[in-house]
Amino acid sequence: MYKNYLKIALRNLLKHKAFSFINISGVAIGLACFLLLAIYVKDELSYDRFHANADRIYRLSRTFLSKDGSVSLRLGHAAPPFGPLIKQDFPEVEQVVRLLETGALVRYGEHLFNEENLFVAEQNVFKVFSFQVTNGNPAKALENPFSIMFSRPMAEKYFGKENPVGKTIRLDNQLDYTVTGVFEPLPAQSHFHPSFLVSFSTLNDPRVYGAEGLRSNWGNNSFSTFLLLPEKYDAKKLIKAFPAFQDRHIEAKASSWSVLDLTKLTDIHLYSHLDSEIEANGDIRYVYMFSAIAIFILIIACINYMNLATAKSATRAKEVGMRKVIGAVRSQLINQFLSESILLVLVSVVIAILIVVLCLPYLNNFTQKQLTFNALLDPAFVCILISITLFTGVIAGSYPAFFMTSFQPISVLKGKIASALKNGRLRQSLVVLQFAIAVVLIISTAVVYNQMRYIQNYKLGYSKDQIILLGMPDDSATNTESIKQRLKENSNIKEVGRSSRIPSGRLLDSWSAYVMKGDSMAPTDITIKSLSVDEDFIPTYQIEMAAGRNFSREYPTDKTNGFILNETAIKILGWKNPADAIGNRFGYGDIRGEIIGVTKDYHFESLHQKVAPIVMFNQPGRMGRVSVHVSGGNLKEAISHIESVWKTQFPQTPFSYEFLDQRFGKLYATEETQQMLFGIFAGIAIFISCLGLLGLSMFMAELRTKEIGVRKVLGASVTSIVTLLSQDFLKLVIIAILIASPIAWYGMHSWLEDFAYHTEINWWVFALAGIIAAGIALFTVSFQSIKAALMNPVKSLRSE
């Protein structure tokens, strides 16, 4: 029996090639998109879950409050004393491990490289995290000072096939370390990726950090601190005890300005977006967004299939009637229709899997991930795939299987069902739904595109073009001026400035400001972020002065008591005009002096944040970043000159640089990726929707062949027939646009609120989306309508 069902199903597929192609390609493309996005979403949701204790590990974070209670700084790091004191005061905590991320110049023999992702880690790191140690003893590898472990790729880079354990390397051309082990790199789905692990006891050496600093330095919030809690322990109990803990160890009422919190390890990647993170994290909102897009596209593909399946079933009404007349029972007819439907979906699934295999490398290149097809072999994925196949096949086949087989043979043979199916409300509703989804994606794509263009063209208040960034070695402060003069000997270099941080990075240092009240300096409730710069920083970035002057070498006191504030800081401190602030006494932290200048506001941080109040002062010992403003005439020659000066001044340090505009672009890499994905999948959604419209228009033209022939005989023009066949579909698309527009506005309005500075959602975006959707739909339908209108009426009426 089932063999017979399969034969009939294959014959029907081959008999109606156009419908079969549209059905299979629509479902295959939709399912392929769903699977690709599902792999992406699964990857995002799997971060840090490979650790054996993932559900019990929590990260300590620290938030600083202003005197008015507002948040001034949120850090994913904490001060070094917190770790051991938490273990001391809360014995229920099983393990506390501290990590300090840094970079170093690594030398072994002739190998010399600037390396990042070097983590100073406590000895119990392997009791908390699931590292796979391939060489060395994990229990003792980080026990002694000046011990270092290499990740396997780094070990191969420096030592080749040799066993590195026991060998000596040098860091920063200063101190020697002994290699004590090798570990496999952590999976891509980790929120941190150490290339090296250095023993934490090394920090006790005063040449490195100092034991006293580890015990009492509450201001250096650079240490990632992780807690391993007992099974089924409520972390909220610990969080509630933190205020008293801080008041006890830091100072009375420390909890009024410092707040400790815990974040579950598996929540860090998607839910943590603090001012300091080990690596850039993902965002749960994008996971929800791409999950919705995946489901929407699959729904559109399924709607297409259901529409065409129910429409085409009308042409098989007489077949159903004849089968019933010759003795077929209803259950046999139901099995026939369902088997045909499921077979077609199975063919689509096979093609979809092939599409996924072909497209996965491109998706990896696009998202900078390491997604693999193995994700689809996960039992949960297999169950989902089987469920989708059966669900789509059964739902699409259920209408002809259960509805049409319920009629009496006489009704079927008289054609009453076929005439009733001409104006199916179900099909019309499904067409509206699929085009509404497509229009939402088109509008979203347009809004994201506009926001990205807005960001790229927004006036930042400084020049970010043709700026080369360098990181100077720590020992370069003594000969800074001579280095700058040598760099400026080349005519392609305009300015060279130094600073503690560079634009596009977060300003993490913030203290309360002091201003004159009466005859004395008094603290304010205002927290201002700080930046240490030299005399050439402002000219290098072409930042405009609103009042006063820049730092100058002609005024030696500028290095000890000169301050430059931005307009936002001036306004917050109470001065109405920038000029009113010039010459006033001002204090910041432990420094006292006067305001010598006010700059116009500039966006040092990303446009996700509003312009922060900033104070600049000139403290040479704090400036480790160099910005070189070059002319665009001969960039290659300028870089060659910079490299030559670098190698002369720092022969032991490899030369490396980056451009500011590229660094700035990284701030919005996620949004750029989102824009591209929106565009791609909106196009796919429209394409699949149009496939369905094409199929439906073919069906309607076929169903109304005799009507078209009669109209032509009676004098109807081709235009009138095309209009007749197209207007019904066009009405449905217009309804879809009206439904989709408010939904898209609400969603994208919420998305834009994440930006402190954003474009508006203009009316023309909705008009453009409507025109695109209606135009594509009209083109698709008209193609088949014109073909039907040009048909010779004699052929369509010859059977009458």
Q: 3-state SS string over 418-440?
A: HHHHHHCHHHHHHHHHHHHHHHH
- Tell me the pLDDT tens digit for each residue of 194-235: 999 999 999 999 989 899 999 989 888 899 999 999 998 999
- Written as six digits, the tokens of 236 are 């909220």
Average pLDDT over residues 279-298: 85
Contact 307, 692 (CB under 8 A): yes
Q: How confident is the model at residue 419 (pLDDT cuts 50, 70, 90)?
A: low
| Strands 111-121, 196-199: pairing kind | parallel
**Can you give the pTM of this predicted structure?**
0.82
- Written as six digits, the tokens of 789 are 């209108």
Q: From 460, 428, 484, select the one nearest 729 (Cα to Cα).
A: 428
Q: Cα torsion for 736, 737, 742, 748, to the nearest 10°?
A: 110
In this predicted structure, what is the pLDDT of residue 476? 56
In this predicted structure, what is the pLDDT of residue 327? 66
- Tell me the pLDDT tens digit for each residue of 102-160: 988 899 988 888 888 999 999 999 999 999 999 999 999 999 999 999 999 999 999 99
> Which percentage of the chain shows pLDDT scores above 90?
27
Return the ∠ at Cα 377 (arms to 376 and 382), rounded to 5°.
75
Contact 199, 145 (CB under 8 A): yes
Neighbour tally for 233: CB within 10 Å? 16
Fill in the amino acid letter for 307. Answer: N
Contact 221, 260 (CB under 8 A): no
C-alpha distance from residue 607 to each of 138, 503, 515, 599, 756 (Å) = 44, 12, 29, 19, 6
In this predicted structure, what is the pLDDT of residue 789? 67
Q: Residue 348, exposed/middle/buried by CB under 10 A (0-12, 13-18, 19+)?
A: buried
Q: Which residues contact 6 (CB under 8 A, 6 or more apart)?
A: 339, 343
In this predicted structure, what is the pLDDT of residue 478? 59
Strand partners, 276: 75
Q: How confident is the model at residue 475 (pLDDT cuts 50, 70, 90)?
A: low
Which of the two residues, 305 and 250, has the higher pLDDT score? 250
Q: Residue 753, exposed/middle/buried by CB under 10 A (0-12, 13-18, 19+)?
A: exposed
Contact 566, 599 (CB under 8 A): yes
- Tell me the pLDDT tens digit for each residue of 551-592: 998 988 888 889 999 999 899 888 889 999 898 888 887 788
Which of the two residues, 313 and 735, has the higher pLDDT score? 735
In this predicted structure, what is the pLDDT of residue 605? 78
CA–CA gap between residue 202 and residue 120 (Å, rounded): 8
- Written as six digits, the tokens of 162 are 């040799």
Q: How confident is the model at residue 510 (pLDDT cuts 50, 70, 90)?
A: low
Q: Which residues contact 629 (CB under 8 A, 6 or more apart)?
A: 463, 466, 467, 493, 494, 495, 496, 497, 540, 541, 542
Neighbour tally for 336: CB within 10 Å? 25
Contact 263, 59 (CB under 8 A): yes
In this predicted structure, what is the pLDDT of residue 127? 94
Phi, psi of 122 (to 5 degrees): -70, 160
Neighbour tally for 738: CB within 10 Å? 14
Arithmetic mean of pLDDT over the chain: 83
CA–CA gap between residue 34 and residue 297 (Å, rounded): 7
- Written as six digits, the tokens of 800 are 């009458």
In this predicted structure, what is the pLDDT of residue 336? 75
CA–CA gap between residue 217 and residue 202 (Å, rounded): 17
Work out the angle between the directed axes of helices 235-249 and 82-89 (0-180°, nearest 10): 110
Q: How confident is the model at residue 704 (pLDDT cuts 50, 70, 90)?
A: low
- Tell me the pLDDT tens digit for each residue of 435-448: 888 888 888 888 88
Q: Cα torsion for 563, 275, 201, 146, to the nearest 10°?
A: -80
Average pLDDT over residues 180-191: 94
Q: Which residues contact 220 (CB under 8 A, 6 or more apart)?
A: 79, 80, 213
CA–CA gap between residue 622 and residue 537 (Å, rounded): 14
Please determine, for residue 418, whether its predicted confidence score (pLDDT) is greater than 60. no
- The alpha-carbon radius of gyration of the chain (Å, integer) is 34
Which of the two residues, 752 and 512, has the higher pLDDT score? 752
Matching residue, tokens 């926001």: 451
- Written as six digits, the tokens of 20 are 């079969």
Q: In angstroms, how far is the first alpha carbon of the chain from the final one?
A: 38
In this predicted structure, what is the pLDDT of residue 522? 66
Task: Mark out the alpha helices in 607-704 (DSSP H runs).
Answer: 635-649, 660-666, 669-703
- Tell me the pLDDT tens digit for each residue of 644-684: 988 888 887 888 888 888 887 777 777 777 778 777 877 78
Q: Residue 481, exposed/middle/buried by CB under 10 A (0-12, 13-18, 19+)?
A: exposed
Contact 689, 304 (CB under 8 A): yes
Average pLDDT over residues 374-386: 78
Q: Residue 608, exposed/middle/buried by CB under 10 A (0-12, 13-18, 19+)?
A: middle
